[in-house]
Amino acid sequence: MSSPIPNQDQNFDVLVIGGGINGVAIARECAQWSKRTLLVEQNDFSSGTTSRSTRIIHGGLRYLEHAEIGLVRESLRERERLLSQLPHLVRPLQFLLALPKKSRSLRRSSLAIRTGLWLYHHWAGGKRPPSDDKAAFEQQLDSGNSWSIYAYEDAQCEFPERLVAEWLTESVAAGAVACNHTELLEITRGNGRVTGARLRDRISGQEYAIHATHIVNATGPWADTVIAASGISTPRMIGGVRGSHLVLPKFTGAPEQAIYTEAIDGRPIFVVPWNGQLLVGTSEVADANVPDNPQPSPQEIEYLFQSFARLFPRSGLTQADVRYDFAGIRPLPFAPGKPSSSLTRRHVLHDHTGEGAAGLLSVIGGKLTTAASLARDVVRKLGVDVPEPVNVFASPAAEEDVESTVRQWARLVACKAKIPTGCAEAIAEWHGRHALAIAHAASLDERLREPLCPHSCHLVAEAVEAVAHESAVTLGDILLRRVPVALGACWSEECSREAAHKIGRALGWDQSRIYLELLRLEEEREQFLHPRHGQAVNPKPGCGSPVRNVQHY
């Protein structure tokens, strides 16, 4: 069973449909403002676009070009808030903007670029001067091409899945009911306004109805599908644009910074250090299909790899080294005839009152970075006078305090669970303060202290906590999103098998459940990431973990 199924005909102030970062942020904000809130997600929380993004928490340097000053400033404020509120998950990251001298972007003068970067830095509080260390990167560049390189700073959330899990826990603590594997079948209406919904638990197959005064359609690229299934006549809202990524191994001499550059056709792309690997993306291809299983095309894989190879001609990597590829659909506003690069990344709230569905709002667009401010906007639309939080521009000293707090959690975890400090750091980086409860559970039971697989730092206790407190239901929920070791560099079917048995034993699953969960996990991994088979031949220590120095006692 997914999660606590509300009683048939139960009443809610707000039903939020869709458990990506936006839906979870909205449910959290609603619950914190004392709205009786139900959140439903057809698969698992953050399994949609949220886990298929580039995972950068950014002001959006590119939006400056489109003069979206308001969006850039809002995003920078939100970036700073996330850095200070979730320091274990959202971390500063140095970027290098690398433009080939023959670039079409260099129609802008160097002065214009420097001015843009100066504004970007100062709107974010101007506290951390970007590191100007370009040497490692310059060594890798093709000497036949001449590049202009500029340093700036943004941030990264390597695992938005974990951020969503934390916000989900906060929503439930504030009184929200959260059900994953629960599909909205139809929004019900009467007298021109919404009355509730029909839902189906996808695991048990049970269907039921609930009442809700307000409904928020936060289904990202599915927004039109949900509206159409409910028979509401709304002009098309979403113009889906597929963005694909490649995951490559980190080659010797790869720069520590993220690189923001031009692809072979002049479009902007990123090469970002991620999870001990390199994330390269994205493409931008119009895609109007139902977004259940977006896939990169062979042309997009070729395009991304060629763009990477032009930037790093000495990496020694070939296309055969691609470890994973995955795609997501950007839920951009439908604007036929307009290039997607020119469309705003600002969210829009569509009110369906004029379409016979008063009380229903649909979310169009948005970014990981601005999910919390989007949530505040939604709750304001529901009539709550939500104040704008004070600006947080933490000083470098405050950031060091935060770093030392995370290190302190790690020390306590190491001591309590009797595991090496490197592993305790990995656990603290994913679970923050909650790592202490995980360490406590691990200290009480030998089985919970076992690593999920021999070359991972992460423990069975984390999986058990994910089921107990973070609404994880399936093995995929656990290993891909709550304890996302299965996104690691050398995770293989072998690792899945070992983890399934250890987790199954700890949770009391019988052999047939373990087998079924394993089968479904491997299917999901295959559909999402397309792992290249054989990559686990030489599993490296520390794989499946962002941390080094793995020795299990």
Ligand X SMILES: Cc1cc2nc3c(=O)[nH]c(=O)nc-3n(C[C@H](O)[C@H](O)[C@H](O)COP(=O)(O)OP(=O)(O)OC[C@H]3O[C@@H](n4cnc5c(N)ncnc54)[C@H](O)[C@@H]3O)c2cc1C
Smallest separation, CB 70 to ligand X (Å): 16
Smallest separation, CB 287 to ligand X (Å): 10
Which residues neighbour 535 within 8 Å (Cβ) at sequence distance 6 or greater?
323, 490, 492
Question: Residue 330 interacts with ligand X (CB under 6 A)?
Answer: yes
Which residues neighbour 519 within 8 Å (Cβ) at sequence distance 6 or greater?
none
Q: Give the SS3 label for residue 352.
A: coil
Instruction: Decide whether 198 or 513 has the Cβ nearer to ligand X.
Output: 198
Task: For the chain, state the CA radius of gyration.
Answer: 23
Phi, psi of 183 (to 5 degrees): -100, 135
Smallest separation, CB 553 to ligand X (Å): 38
Question: Residue 18 interacts with ligand X (CB under 6 A)?
Answer: yes
Question: Residue 183 interacts with ligand X (CB under 6 A)?
Answer: yes
Instruction: Decide whether 53 or 535 has the Cβ nearer to ligand X.
Output: 53
Integer angstrom CA distances of residue 465 from 153, 181, 439, 507: 35, 19, 10, 10
Which candidate, 291, 201, 294, places its Cα nearest to that of 244?
Answer: 294
**Window 455-494: contact mask with ligand X (x via CB under 6 A):** ----------------------------------------
Integer angstrom CA distances of residue 182 from 1, 134, 202: 10, 49, 6
Instruction: Decide whether 434 or 481 has the Cβ nearer to ligand X.
Output: 481
Which candidate, 244, 276, 278, 243, places its Cα nearest to that of 258?
Answer: 278
For residues 274 and 213, the answer to whether their CB atoms sit within 8 Å is no
Smallest separation, CB 443 to ligand X (Å): 35
Smallest separation, CB 76 to ligand X (Å): 12
b/e map 117-133, b = 16+ CB within 10 Å: bebbbebbeebbebeee
Question: Residue 222 interacts with ligand X (CB under 6 A)?
Answer: yes
In angstroms, the CA 188 to CA 357 distance is 9
Smallest separation, CB 34 to ligand X (Å): 23
Smallest separation, CB 242 to ligand X (Å): 7
Instruction: Decide whether 54 or 315 has the Cβ nearer to ligand X.
Output: 54
DSSP codes joined into one string, 37-73: EEEE-SS-TT-SGGGGS--EE---HHHHHTT-HHHHH
Instruction: Decide whether 238 or 311 has the Cβ nearer to ligand X.
Output: 238
Question: Residue 218 interacts with ligand X (CB under 6 A)?
Answer: yes
Instruction: Decide whether 59 or 542 has the Cβ nearer to ligand X.
Output: 59
Phi, psi of 388 (to 5 degrees): -75, 130
Instruction: Decide whether 21 or 254 has the Cβ nearer to ligand X.
Output: 21
For 481, the token pair is 């999103």
Cis? peptide before 252, omega within 30° of 0: no
Binding to ligand X, residues 241-280 (CB under 6 A): 243
Question: Residue 282 interacts with ligand X (CB under 6 A)?
Answer: yes
Smallest separation, CB 510 to ligand X (Å): 29
Q: Which stretch binds ligand X (CB under 6 A): 17-25, 126-134, 142-150, 544-552?
A: 17-25
Q: Which stretch binds ligand X (CB under 6 A): 21-29, 62-70, 120-128, 351-359?
A: 21-29
For residues 255 and 136, the answer to whether their CB atoms sit within 8 Å is yes
Binding to ligand X, residues 514-543 (CB under 6 A): none
Q: Which stretch binds ligand X (CB under 6 A): 27-35, 326-334, 389-397, 517-525?
A: 326-334
Which residues neighbour 125 within 8 Å (Cβ) at sequence distance 6 or greater?
80, 391, 393
Instruction: Decide whether 137 or 270 has the Cβ nearer to ligand X.
Output: 270
DSSP codes joined into one string, 270-322: EEEEETTEEEEE---EE--S-TTS----HHHHHHHHHHHHHH-TTS---GGG-
Instruction: Decide whether 282 or 471 has the Cβ nearer to ligand X.
Output: 282
Smallest separation, CB 213 to ligand X (Å): 19
Number of residues that bind ligand X (CB under 6 A): 39
In angstroms, the CA 156 to CA 160 distance is 9
Q: Which stretch binds ligand X (CB under 6 A): 11-19, 127-135, 468-476, 514-522?
A: 11-19
Q: For 341-349, which contacts have Cβ atoms below 8 Å and span 24 or more sequence positions?
A: 341/267, 341/284, 342/66, 343/239, 344/66, 344/68, 344/71, 345/60, 345/63, 345/68, 345/71, 346/68, 346/70, 346/71, 346/370, 347/22, 347/374, 347/377, 349/377, 349/378, 349/381
Binding to ligand X, residues 54-83 (CB under 6 A): 54-56
Q: Give the SS3 label for residue 127.
A: coil
In angstroms, the CA 379 to CA 536 distance is 47
**Window 351-370: contact mask with ligand X (x via CB under 6 A):** ------------x--xxxx-
Instruction: Decide whether 182 or 496 has the Cβ nearer to ligand X.
Output: 182
Smallest separation, CB 482 to ligand X (Å): 15
Candidates 16, 17, 259, 417: give the one binding ligand X (CB under 6 A). Answer: 17
Q: Which stretch binds ligand X (CB under 6 A): 31-39, 206-214, 220-228, 375-383?
A: 220-228
Smallest separation, CB 15 to ligand X (Å): 10
Which candidate, 28, 114, 124, 96, places its Cα nearest to that of 399?
Answer: 124
Question: Residue 3 interacts with ligand X (CB under 6 A)?
Answer: no
Q: Which stretch binds ligand X (CB under 6 A): 324-332, 400-408, 515-523, 541-549?
A: 324-332
In angstroms, the CA 26 to CA 13 distance is 13
Smallest separation, CB 267 to ligand X (Å): 13
Binding to ligand X, residues 26-55 (CB under 6 A): 40-43, 47-50, 52-55
Instruction: Decide whether 152 or 409 has the Cβ nearer to ligand X.
Output: 152
The closest residue (CB) to ligand X is 20
Smallest separation, CB 494 to ligand X (Å): 29
Query: What is the contact surface with ligand X in residues (CB under 6 A)?
Result: 17-23, 40-43, 47-50, 52-56, 183-184, 218-222, 226, 243, 282, 328-331, 363, 366-369
